[in-house]
């Protein structure tokens, strides 16, 4: 992270820790290397039990094929970003529909080191709100 001052870096970290959107980074092997506290609010999993886990382990395998294909395309460099809808498996076993936005995470030399992004809570496309 490049900051104008040490105070600015501290402020930036405070913002990341307080935003309601999840921010993640996973390495080339798919292990989660960074999560902000919004992850716990979304999934029920603590940061400690989630970091170092595989990114895909938190998603419903039944609907994960498009997400997996999108991440593979990111790694291959054939796309610059993805936005894929799928279900995340909450700690209590329930599913929550999300749209995962992600992009390649590049090292200082421009080589791929992993992916970074954010899952946004969504209503499933088939969901119709009750009118009662």
pLDDT of residue 89: 96
**Whole-angstrom distance, CA of residue 106 vs CA of residue 34:** 15
pLDDT per residue as tens digits for the range 23-78: 999 999 999 999 999 999 999 999 999 999 999 999 999 989 999 999 999 999 99
Q: Interior CA angle at 88 toward 85 and 89, to 5°?
A: 155
CATH class, 19-121 region: alpha beta
pLDDT of residue 8: 59
Write out the H or E segment, with its range, that includes residue 18. helix 6-18
Counted residue by residue, the chain has a size of 132
Residue 4 has pLDDT above 90, yes or no: no
Write the CA distances from 81 to 84, 95, 97, integer angstroms: 10, 24, 20
With contact defined as beta carbons under 8 Å apart, do 121 and 95 qualify?
no
Question: What are the residue boundaries of the structural domains of the chain, listed by start?
Answer: 19-121
- CB neighbours of 60 closer than 8 A, spacing ≥ 6? 86, 87, 88, 89, 95
Closest CA relative to residue 33, chosen from 45, 44, 23? 23
Predicted structure pTM score: 0.83
């Amino acid at each position: 992270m490049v900051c104008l001052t040490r105070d600015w870096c501290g402020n930036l970290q405070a913002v990341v820790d307080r935003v309601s959107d999840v921010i993640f980074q996973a390495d080339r092997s798919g292990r989660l290397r960074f999560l902000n506290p919004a992850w716990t609010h979304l999934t029920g999993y603590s940061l400690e039990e989630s970091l170092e886990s595989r990114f895909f382990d938190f998603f419903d395998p039944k609907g994960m094929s498009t997400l997996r294909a999108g991440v593979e395309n990111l790694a291959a460099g054939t796309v610059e970003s993805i936005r894929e809808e799928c279900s995340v498996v909450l700690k209590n076993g329930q599913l929550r529909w999300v749209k995962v936005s992600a992009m390649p995470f590049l090292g200082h030399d421009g080589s791929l080191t992993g992916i970074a992004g954010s899952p946004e809570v969504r209503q499933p496309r088939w969901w119709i709100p009750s009118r009662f």
